[in-house]
Amino acid sequence: MMTFRQHLSTALAFCVLSAAPLSGQAQQSELLPLPLDEVRMFTEALDRIRMAYVEEIDDKTLLENAIRGMLSGLDPHSAYMAGQEYDALQETTSGEFGGLGIEVGRENGYIKVISPIDDTPADRAGIEAGDLIIQIDNKPLRELTPEEAANMMRGEPGTEVTVTIAREGMEPFELTVVREVIAITSVRSRLLEPGYVYVRIAQFRLNTGEELEDELREKYEEHGELKGVVLDLRNNPGGVLQASVRVVDAFIEEGSIVSTKGRLEGNDRTFSASLSTIAPDVPLVVLVNNGSASASEIVAGALQDHGRAVVMGTQSFGKGSVQTVLQLDDARAIKLTTSLYYTPSGRSIQAQGITPDIIVDDAFVTRRSRSISQYNEADLPGRLANGNGEETVDSDEEMAEALISAEQVLVTDYPLNEALNVLKGVNAFKPAARSTTGSFAQRDAL
């Protein structure tokens, strides 16, 4: 009777001899034969683990662990997913799942927070992009994959999980966070000042591009011609590639947006702008930081290369690879890095990131209060009337009221304040650049 090792060796040898293409996409080149010596060593190691490990372990678990090991050794984003892990990926793409609300990667064996998702338990607890999670419920995580760590943080809404955080310049500390149903709001917007719109994209989902277009149309209908848009991609971990393409397409009328290149023929693709652009002329500033990754970098890089936007903030994360989910059966799949993406100018941002046009670090800034001895011409008794027939300005009251909105932005979000100033500068020095030809109302009527 054949032993387990003999059965496995026979099966692997058959794979070596057949060397058939994995799929229709791979038929352009034959697979290289497996090295026989390494196959024998693998089966020997597997057999010894089965026989000598301190506890009995089933063959299915060993083989699944072998697959996990193969993928985890490739890059931080390739992974094996089974059962709940696969379901979790589907939930994240659809936009609703139970957990803390963070996107994670791997760094030096630890779990690194790429970014917390807006208005989630992780965000409210103070978890920040760049934090290292070194323990979950007192279990060290150095040898876990990001997917395994994410699975540990998921769970029933209302249950607690304790994470130990290592942050630069601080001693490790614990945070106890209550899980919630994470329903991601992909796009939200608000008016900063008359004519200036703030748009925040938290994550790129299937319908993000459509949501962005709806938000812009709504703001135009409510407030008339737009003087400028701040597109905030800070701490946006990325998501669906096609969604990022549609976001860029909302702001440019022609040209390449992104291209992907891989080993297989079907992975070499170029995505270009269409005629459905709705805001080609509105001045645009894009905010990025170290938590801006993947699809966020596609958007920032494309708009930067086309000269369509001023990119501000700090260096982005640098994830320039594309993952494809290859389903093995109904409950298992592998997430495999299959290609790299390139901006319109042909640059890869892999492990480099997007360098902003204007570097703006996070800072806490307040305006200096007005000196009690400071006064203007309008404050003087017996002053002359304004020659233009306009009313004088009450500098103490009216000016203070006019600055309330700007003061709030400055104190709470310095980079956003600087982005708003850039847009004001564009309008101050190039007023003729703004035209109603790009208005949503007129373009929709064409």
Q: Dmax of the chain from CA atoms? A: 114
- Does residue 294 carry a catalytic annotation? yes
DSSP string, 205-270: -TTHHHHHHHHHHHHHHHH-S-SEEEEE-TT---B-HHHHHHHHHTT-SSSEEEEEEESSGGG-EE
CA distances (Å), origin 425, targets 228, 283, 420, 431, 436: 10, 10, 9, 10, 19
| Amino acid occupying residue 401 | E
Residue tagged active-site, from 319, 335, 339, 413: 319
- Tell me phi and psi for residue 225, to 5 degrees: -60, 135
Sign of CA dihedral 206, 150, 325, 286: positive
Instruction: Tell me how crowded residue 71 is: count the other CB atoms within 10 A of its CB.
Output: 19
Which residues are paired to 272 by β-bridges?
256
Looking at beta carbons, which pairs linking 49-56 to residues 24 or more positions away fall under 8 Å?
50/4
Q: Which of 280, 372, 298 is nearest to 340 (CA)?
A: 298
DSSP state of 25: G
Radius of gyration of the chain (CA): 27
What CA–CA distance (Å, rounded) separates 305 from 327?
A: 35
CA distances (Å), origin 144, targets 56, 68, 104, 134, 139: 22, 11, 12, 10, 10
Residue tagged active-site, from 305, 321, 335, 439: 305
Residue tagged active-site, from 115, 189, 244, 294: 294
Assign residue 95 a region: left if phi > 0, alpha if psi is -120 to 50, beta otherwise? left
Token pair 């249950």: residue:
159
Looking at beta carbons, which pairs linking 18-23 to residues 24 or more positions away fall under 8 Å?
none
Two tokens, residue 418: 């600087």
Q: Is the distance from CB of 258 to CB of 222 less than 8 angstroms?
A: no
Q: Which of 441, 420, 402, 52 is nearest to 225 (CA)?
A: 441
CA distances (Å), origin 181, targets 102, 149, 176, 184, 322: 13, 18, 16, 9, 27
Two tokens, residue 363: 């800072």
Which residues are identified as catalytic? Answer: 294, 305, 319
